[in-house]
A and B are shown apart, each in its own frame.
Chain A
Amino acid sequence: MDAKPLWLLAELTYKCPLQCPYCSNPLDFAGSRFKHELTTEEWSRVFREAQALGVLQLGLSGGEPLLRPDLESLVATAQRLGLYTSLITSAHRLTQDRLAALKRAGLDHVQISVQAADAELSDRIAGTRAYRDKLAAYHFAKELGFPLTVNVVLHRENLHQVEALIRLAESLGAERIELANTQFYGWAFHNRDALMPTKAQLDAAWQVVLRERARLGSRLEIVWVLPDYHEQFPKPCMGGWGRAYMTVTPAGEVWPCHAAGRITTLTFENVRDRSLEWIWHQSDAFNRFRGEAWMPEPCRSCARRTVDFGGCRCQAFLVAGDAALTDPVCSLAPHRHVIDAAVTQVERAAAARVEPTALTYRAAPASRALAAKG
């Protein structure tokens, strides 16, 4: 079947006032690869081409998308095209006037991150004082009538706050809270040993989620993004490679997911050189892992291949060194032992009360230093 994309994630810029050590942006976000950001006209063309290709859902993300002064104009373009627009933001310095302008431009949905349930921990994880702006922005969003999602990335330092986070979202009148256990790519992969929780932490948090779901029913949707290192089978990453989803980076590269740029064995096309349609249908990067022909064993003969599509290509590349292997998270994968070793090391360190290694915060100097190291 010749699939058409439904989702486009537009990473408008990699500039961000926050420095979260689990950021999904590339480690080399400050490098030349992402420097020359697409113009307003170029993004507008991308949105038009995406809509013509079948995209219905548009995520406006970053970095921090509010740093684009043309955000209102981009939202207006997307609105005219009938795209359902979600702003995915840290809300740093977001005023009520700006959010009202985005509402007038046709923005459909606001997702605001928070790093923890209290200011002290939230600001420490964000690497900057951001909590107060976030709380103000949540209220602006509800006052303006936006559907609101509270986005939280979970890890060792904040998993104990899951109940407080859900109560916060409830008190704000949010429609959804996304409790996303850290997925280990980008900065999170670099900081993996310090971020990874113990099994006991995860189990306790999951019990809270079950209890709170029962209490809240349809009043608040609680999304729990699985901690895949602790699972038996891989996630159906992006619903399958090149099936429904694409990411456009700040300088116009097109990726099958927001972590794929790290796969050095693929060449990614740019919207400045090619149409989105050509890239989606014809490019090697999108075709390489489409369907089942690429699959190795144990995926090829596995009944779950139509459920999880072999899992995540980026994880196979990062952990097993080859994007064409079974996701090493799978208990049947030949590289599962690498995942087990990482999990075991964290459990042992926690049992021995060893202080985790210091986090590397996501910032331009650290990005350039890591890029220089290769």
Chain B
Amino acid sequence: MNPAPAAAVPRLHPKARLQRDEVRGRDVLLYPEGLVTLNATGAEILGLCDGVRSVADIVAALEQRYGASGLEQDVMSFLDGLGAKGLVIYGR
């Protein structure tokens, strides 16, 4: 699978659901017969995948939030990983 361009708009596949795992104090992505454990950054990225923001918008939002730069690579590789599992798709 090719990495998504910065202008692409990521969103969760309808089969996947972001869920707080209260018992273990973490966020998880639940989907048919499986789950992915998310760290705080991963959960934050997915929280920004609203079907409106592009990858570039999400990177910009995170960089502003943390006063950081150069997050694009991290965001893209995270989204590509979920894209390969069919959990993140692109398009409005």
Which residues on A are within 8 Å of B, measured CB to CB? 4, 6, 51-54, 56-57, 82, 84, 86, 108-109, 111, 145, 147, 149, 175-176, 218, 221, 223
The stretch of B16-24, B41-49, B60-68 that contacts the partner chain: B16-24
Question: Shortest CB–CB separation between residue B14 and chain A, in angstroms?
Answer: 6
Does the CB pair A53–B30 fall under 8 Å? no
Does the CB pair B24–A176 fall under 8 Å? no
A51, A57, A111, most chain B CB atoms within 10 A: A57
Contacts of A109 in B (CB 8 A): 15, 32
B19 contacts which of A54, A82, A147, A218 (Cβ < 8 Å)? A82
Does the CB pair A6–B35 fall under 8 Å? yes
Rounded to whole angstroms, the CA-CA distance of A51 and B28 in the bound complex is: 14
Does the CB pair A84–B17 fall under 8 Å? yes
Does the CB pair A108–B17 fall under 8 Å? yes
Contacts of A57 in B (CB 8 A): 30, 33, 35
Question: Shortest CB–CB separation between residue A249 and chain B, in angstroms?
Answer: 21
Beyond known contacts A6-B35, A54-B23, A111-B32: 7 more, CB 8 A cutoff: A56-B19, A56-B28, A82-B19, A147-B15, A147-B32, A149-B32, A221-B86
Asked if B6 is at the interface (CB within 8 A of a chain A CB), the reply is no
Question: Shortest CB–CB separation between residue A138 and chain B, in angstroms?
Answer: 15
Known interface pairs A56-B21, A57-B30. Does A175 touch B35 (Cβ–Cβ under 8 Å)? no
Known interface pairs A57-B30, A175-B15. Does A218 touch B23 (Cβ–Cβ under 8 Å)? no
Contacts of A218 in B (CB 8 A): 1, 84-86
Known interface pairs A4-B24, A84-B19. Does A176 touch B32 (Cβ–Cβ under 8 Å)? yes
B14 contacts which of A53, A54, A86, A145 (Cβ < 8 Å)? A145
Rounded to whole angstroms, the CA-CA distance of A175 and B84 in the bound complex is: 14
Rounded to whole angstroms, the CA-CA distance of A102 and B5 in the bound complex is: 38
Q: List 13 A-B contacts (CB under 8 A).
A: A54-B24, A57-B30, A57-B35, A82-B19, A82-B20, A108-B15, A108-B32, A109-B32, A111-B32, A147-B31, A147-B32, A149-B33, A218-B86
Question: Shortest CB–CB separation between residue B89 and chain A, in angstroms?
Answer: 10
Does the CB pair A84–B30 fall under 8 Å? yes
Known interface pairs A53-B23, A54-B23, A218-B1. Does A175 touch B86 (Cβ–Cβ under 8 Å)? yes
Contacts of B86 in A (CB 8 A): 175, 218, 221
Question: Shortest CB–CB separation between residue A36 and chain B, in angstroms?
Answer: 30
Does the CB pair B15–A56 fall under 8 Å? no
Rounded to whole angstroms, the CA-CA distance of A222 and B14 in the bound complex is: 19
Contacts of A84 in B (CB 8 A): 17, 19, 30-31, 35
Rounded to whole angstroms, the CA-CA distance of A267 and B46 in the bound complex is: 45
Question: Shortest CB–CB separation between residue A81 and chain B, in angstroms?
Answer: 10
Q: Of all chain A residues, which has the CB nearest B87? A: A218
Rounded to whole angstroms, the CA-CA distance of A364 and B31 in the bound complex is: 35
Question: Shortest CB–CB separation between residue B82 and chain A, in angstroms?
Answer: 11
Rounded to whole angstroms, the CA-CA distance of A53 and B84 in the bound complex is: 31
Rounded to whole angstroms, the CA-CA distance of A149 and B30 in the bound complex is: 15
Question: Shortest CB–CB separation between residue A358 and chain B, in angstroms?
Answer: 34
Contacts of B84 in A (CB 8 A): 218
Chain B, range 50-80, C-beta contacts under 8 Å to A:
none
Contacts of A86 in B (CB 8 A): 32-33
Contacts of A4 in B (CB 8 A): 23-24
Rounded to whole angstroms, the CA-CA distance of A56 and B15 in the bound complex is: 15
Does the CB pair A56–B33 fall under 8 Å? no
**Nearest 9 pairs of A and B residues by beta carbon:** A147-B15, A84-B30, A54-B23, A109-B32, A218-B86, A82-B19, A147-B32, A175-B15, A149-B32
Q: Of all chain A residues, which has the CB nearest B84? A: A218
Rounded to whole angstroms, the CA-CA distance of A147 and B14 in the bound complex is: 8
Rounded to whole angstroms, the CA-CA distance of A54 and B23 in the bound complex is: 5
Contacts of B31 in A (CB 8 A): 84, 147
Contacts of B14 in A (CB 8 A): 145, 147
Rounded to whole angstroms, the CA-CA distance of A369 and B20 in the bound complex is: 48
